[in-house]
């Protein structure tokens, strides 16, 4: 038997204003998916331009690290990527 709980009795952020476990799981999943998508995009861009060289024969497009983490707003809430 399915019991329906009215919305006014359901805390939005769990007890004492803390995010619920499912919200945390969704945010972590979103963070991982965004990070993987960004990494794949960077890898594809670098691979596409791997044959571009300067006069000395050095690659023109290389990866030189990662940017500082940023907050991205998603349907799951703010996610740091």
- Tens digit of each residue's pLDDT, the chain (81 residues): 454 445 454 455 545 567 789 988 998 998 999 999 999 999 999 999 999 999 999 999 999 888 898 898 888 788 888
- Phi, psi for residue 57 in degrees, rounded to 5: 90, 10
Percentages of the chain per state (helix, strand, coil), in multiples of 5: 40, 10, 45
Whether this model's pTM surpasses 0.95: no
Our measurement of the distance from residue 4's CA atom to the centroid of its chain's CA atoms, rounded to an integer in Å, reads: 33
What are the helix and strand counts (H, E) for the chain? Answer: 1, 2
Task: Say which residues have a Cβ less than 8 Å from residue 61's Cβ, sequence separation at least 6.
Answer: 45, 46, 49, 50, 52
């Amino acid at each position: 038997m399915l019991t329906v709980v009215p919305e006014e009795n359901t805390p939005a952020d769990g007890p004492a204003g803390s995010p619920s476990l499912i919200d945390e799981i969704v945010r972590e999943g979103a963070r991982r998916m965004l990070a993987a998508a960004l990494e794949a995009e960077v890898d594809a861009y670098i691979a596409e331009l791997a044959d571009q060289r300067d006069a000395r024969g050095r690659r023109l497009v290389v990866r030189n690290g990662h940017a500082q983490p940023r907050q991205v707003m998603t349907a799951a809430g703010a996610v740091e990527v």
